[in-house]
Structure 1
Amino acid sequence: MKRLLSIELQKIWKNRASKVLTITYFVLLSLLSLIASIKFDIGIFKFHLAEMGIFNFPYIWHFNTFIAAFLKIFLAVIIVSMMANEYSYGTLKQNLIDGMSKKELILSKFLTIILFAGISTVFVFVMSLLLGYSFSSYTEIGIVFSDLEYLLAYFVKLVGFFSFCLFLGVLIKRSAFALGALILWFMVEMISYAFAINNLKNTELVNKIYDFFPLMSMWNLIKEPFTRMSSVKNLQQAIGENSIKNYDVHWYSIVIVLMWISIFIFLSHYIIKKRDL
């Protein structure tokens, strides 16, 4: 496994575009800390995000993983290109000639996905820990390390999304078209979801069905954190809205995404196995 991972990392690091995207991704993750510096003072109106509790433990685990997940598109481009470049540069055929099996080929890609997701998760963990201890009003150990399931959900979400990107890269063979297919599928899910909600008039049933769709299932792993903020809840109560929303990470949501990961990796291997390279 170490050998397979080493081969993939060398390919990525020797590719200038992949190197730039990787560095950009982690730089942007670091810039999440700048959210703490957002401050507006307009007369009696004062707006300071850090003072609104977004970096309080354990809420910070929810907030940071939700925001950081939007940046996964940078690594998605690398994952898609990683597969597309195999066809463009002929390295796929060369690896097979050199003795690598088709199973090992897909395994090497999947190990790279796991590594990227793992490093990203650790990075978000460390950054959140530093921000939390800098701004949180609660620093008791029991509070600090509660709600860490959001990090697990973040990791699974990245692995799921990158596995989908790998599958598209294997299926389509051209990075630009594969990314286009990803965007198209996103639009299909969103438009069909809106259409179903509008026409079926049964939001609960539609949500249960769409919980099993690839991108929607990944989105459901980490619910939006904004309406969980105390300031938002106080505002809702002031205007008479007392909505009850479950923000927990559910085990069945993780199982659904794990199911999709298995399907995407299996299909990627099946296509490579059957395709004439």
Structure 2
Amino acid sequence: MLRLLTIEFHKLKYNRASKVLSLIYFGLLTCIALIAAIKFDIGPIKFHLAEIGIFNFPYIWHFNTYIAAILKFFLLLVIVSMMSNEYSYKTLKQNLIDGLSKKEFILSKFYTVIVFALISTLFVFLVSLILGLFYSDYTELAIITSDLQYLLAFFIKLVGFFSMGLFFGILVKRSAFAVGAMVVWFFIESIFKGYLFWTFKDSENTTEKVDGVMQFLPFEAMANLIKEPFSRLGAVRSVASQIGETFSKSYAVDFSTVVIVSVWTFIFIYLSFTLLKKRDL
């Protein structure tokens, strides 16, 4: 494993675009801290984001992983460009000539995906911990360490998303087309979801039926790992209760969703290996 990772990071070391995109990604993750500085006054109304509870433990684990997951697109570009460069610079063929098997080649990419996801998760953990210790109203150890499952969900989400990018990078060989193919897949899922709503429009529990089908598709499953945190915020619930609205949704990380995303990750890696094994290089 270490040998394969060394090969991959040696390639990335001399790829300027990958280094720039990685720096942008981790720079943007750091910028989550700037949310704490957002404040404005409108007459007697004083608004300060850090004071409405978004950095309170354990809510911060949910909020920060959700926001950080939106930024994963930058690392996706690194993954797909990493694959397209293998074809552009003939390094894939050279690696195989030098004795690297196709299985080891795919594993080297998958290990890189895991390392990127792990570093991202640790980075979000540190940023969230520092912000929480500065701004949270609750700093008891039991509260700090609760809801850490969102970090696991974040890691699994990144691994699944990057594995999908790796598959499309191998399939179409060009980073722009690989990203485009993922966008097309996303729109297909969205159109299919709309079709299901139309199909079940006259049924009871329409939303539950649609969600029951959609939960097995990759993008939907990855989105379900970390549900939106905003309606969970105390200030939002307080406003909602004043106008007669209530939120009954579950924000927990579902084990079934973890399994679905893990299965899709395996499928994407297996298809990547199968495609590479059958392709004449």
Range into which the TM-score falls when normalised by the shorter chain: over 0.9
1:223 pairs with one of 207, 222, 227: 227
- Corresponding position of 1:144: 144
1:117 deviates by 0.2
After superposition, the C-alpha distances for 1:125-144 in whole angstroms (9 at most, x for unaligned) are 01000000000000000000
Map 1:43-62 to 2 at 5 A: 43-62=43-62
1:26 deviates by 0.5
Q: Aligned partners of 1:109, 1:243: CA distance in 2, in Å?
A: 42
Q: What's the secondary structure of 2:72's corresponding residue? A: helix
Does 1:157 find its partner at 2:157? yes
Map 1:160-179 to 2 at 5 A: 160-179=160-179
Map 1:160-239 to 2 at 5 A: 160-201=160-201, 202-239=206-243
Counterpart AA for 1:239: I
1:47 deviates by 1.3
- Corresponding position of 1:35: 35
Q: Comparing 136-145 with 175-184, which one deviates more in the overlay?
A: 175-184
- Corresponding position of 1:117: 117
After superposition, the C-alpha distances for 1:100-144 in whole angstroms (9 at most, x for unaligned) are 000000000000000000000000001000000000000000000
Does 1:244 find its partner at 2:265? no
1:239 deviates by 0.5
What fraction of aligned residue pairs are identical, expressed as a percent?
60
CA RMSD, Structure 1 to Structure 2 (Å): 0.7
Counterpart AA for 2:215: D
Counterpart AA for 2:33: S
Whether the aligned pair in 1 keeps the contact of 2:79 and 2:165 (CA below 8 Å) is yes
Q: Comparing 236-245 with 56-65, which one deviates more in the overlay?
A: 236-245
1:241 deviates by 0.9
Q: What's the secondary structure of 2:246's corresponding residue? A: coil
- Corresponding position of 1:65: 65
Any unmatched runs of 5+ in structure 2?
none
How many residues in Structure 1 have an aligned counterpart in Structure 2?
Answer: 277
After superposition, the C-alpha distances for 1:160-192 in whole angstroms (9 at most, x for unaligned) are 000000000011111111111111111111222
After superposition, the C-alpha distances for 1:223-245 in whole angstroms (9 at most, x for unaligned) are 00000000111111101112201
Q: Aligned partners of 1:170, 1:84: CA distance in 2, in Å?
A: 7
1:46 deviates by 1.6
Q: Aligned partners of 2:197, 2:12: CA distance in 1, in Å?
A: 42
Q: Comparing 30-39 with 238-247, which one deviates more in the overlay?
A: 238-247
Does 1:260 find its partner at 2:279? no
Any unmatched runs of 5+ in structure 1?
none
1:193 deviates by 1.1
Moved over 6 A (4+): none
Counterpart AA for 1:85: N
Counterpart AA for 2:242: A
Q: What's the secondary structure of 2:160's corresponding residue? A: helix
Whether the aligned pair in 1 keeps the contact of 2:227 and 2:251 (CA below 8 Å) is yes
Counterpart AA for 1:133: L
1:33 deviates by 0.2
After superposition, the C-alpha distances for 1:38-81 in whole angstroms (9 at most, x for unaligned) are 00101012211100000000000000000000110000001001
User: Could you tell me the TM-score, scaled by structure 1's length?
Assistant: 0.99
